[in-house]
Amino acid sequence: MNRDSSSRRRFLALLARTATAAAALPAAAACGGPAEPDRGPDGPAAAGTAPGASSGAPGRQRRSSGPRPLLLGTYTSAEGGGEGVGLAEYDPGTGRITGRGVLAEVDDPSYLAVHPDGRTLYAVNEREDGAVTAVRLSDRRVLGSRSTGGAAPCHLSVHPGGRWLFSANYGSGSVAVHPIGASGALGERTGLVTHSDPPPGPGQRGPHAHQVVTGPDGNHVLAVDLGTDTVYTYRLDEDAGTLSEVARARTRPGAGPRHLAFHPGGRHAYLANEVDNTVAVCAYDPETGRLTVGEAQSTGAEPGPGSGPNYPAQFLVTSDGAYAFLANRGHNSLSRYAVEAAGARLRFLGTVPVGGDFPRQIAFSPDGALLFAANQRSGSVSAFRVSEDGGELRTAGRPFASPVAVCALPL
């Protein structure tokens, strides 16, 4: 057996062990999407966290002494794109990333999420005929795909109970629900809601669901729609797998909300507005699921002389709720915020160069010590060490080359 073969076998064994022991992982991973005038500045189809697209790291756990898996989302249909879900490993101490090939051949897997038990990966298939695909991590077996009933799904997340998968169809402005079986495989769609009201905001031709996530209370599901400038709140029927609207929150016209991240206290959230380059602190009532959007404030990533516009992509919040980070596409930076007043206020601290072009998604490692940024246009993944006491970001390792990198999910 040659050295490369031996190394690959050891890494696949690590991946299998990780799948068995990953119950503490976030329920989702985060990515974003598209390029037409009313679809945003992203990629070939269309798209939208966290998790891991989660609102933050699951907590400062004991740091692993060995390499950890890193799953990578891409566009397979884009020029120079990947061959499916990419597979790499990272060193928790140095942040160094090493490529390990392809986990599974999946069409346009631009957003990734892991089941709460850590055994199954879910990926959107961001195409006109949208679908979601399940992959068993222990042996990399594709468990099948299911239609989302809409176009260009760009985000997905798993309900904390592990029985339901939610996906956001950017192209058709709808949210789908699929049941998750005991094996991790997906059943036929049980629910589909379309954002037909209010009318599209300035410059938009229709609704564009960009993110769908379960609220911290576990009873409500929130969908962020860039096209209608609205965040919709639904109540999930956990027996039928259907969604019923209970509230909606409007941003200012033309804001283009893209991504919402909750404070661990459960009563505030932070909204990234893609179109007008602003952020907003939101109040959240866990009893009713009602979100109240606060005043727009600066991202701190203002275009300079000769530079183009900035498109905020995604928020992350540290597990202790002390700091928040925002990915800026265009400015190519990460904004840093101190979180104050028990989550009710963001204080801008400054920006840090991301070391790549167009950071579409960011994610914490499970121990919260590293932050990874997937840089779409430079085809790279950057890693940063996160300071516990000051919210500072320091480059960890060199950027890793990954074809059309739109999602990085550290396990």
Concatenated DSSP letters of 299-315: -S----TT----EEEEE
How many CA atoms lie less than 13 Å away from 395 in the CB half-sphere? 12
Instruction: Report the pLDDT value the prediction gives residue 53, as an integer from 0 to 100.
Output: 34
Which two tokens mark 349? 């601290």
Map residue 86 onto helix, strand or coil: strand
> How far, in Å, CA of 47 to CA of 170, rounded?
6
Q: Report the candidate in 145, 159, 121, 160 with the shortest Cα–Cα distance to residue 242.
A: 159
Residue type, 293: V
**pLDDT reported for residue 27:** 38
Pairwise CA distance, residues 72 & 368, whole Å: 18
- The CA distance from 160 to 98, in Å, is 31
Which pLDDT score, from 0 to 100, does residue 308 have?
82
d(Cα 406, Cα 404) in Å, to the nearest integer?
Answer: 6
Residues 6+ away with beta carbon under 8 Å from 86? 71, 72, 73, 74, 99, 101, 102, 103, 402, 403
Phi (first) and psi of residue 299, to 5 degrees: -80, -15
Q: Quick count: other Cβ atoms within 10 Å of Cβ 397?
A: 19
Helix/strand/coil for 341: helix
Per-position pLDDT tens, the chain of length 411: 555 555 556 666 667 666 654 543 333 333 334 333 344 566 544 333 333 333 344 444 555 568 999 999 999 999 999 999 999 999 999 999 999 999 999 999 999 999 999 999 999 999 999 999 999 999 999 999 999 999 999 999 999 999 999 999 999 999 999 999 999 999 999 999 999 999 999 999 999 999 999 999 999 999 999 999 999 999 999 999 999 999 999 999 999 999 999 999 999 999 999 999 999 999 999 999 999 999 999 999 987 666 689 999 999 999 999 999 999 999 999 999 999 999 999 999 999 999 999 999 999 999 999 999 999 999 999 999 999 888 999 999 999 999 999 999 999
> Is cis: bond before 198, omega within 30 of 0?
yes
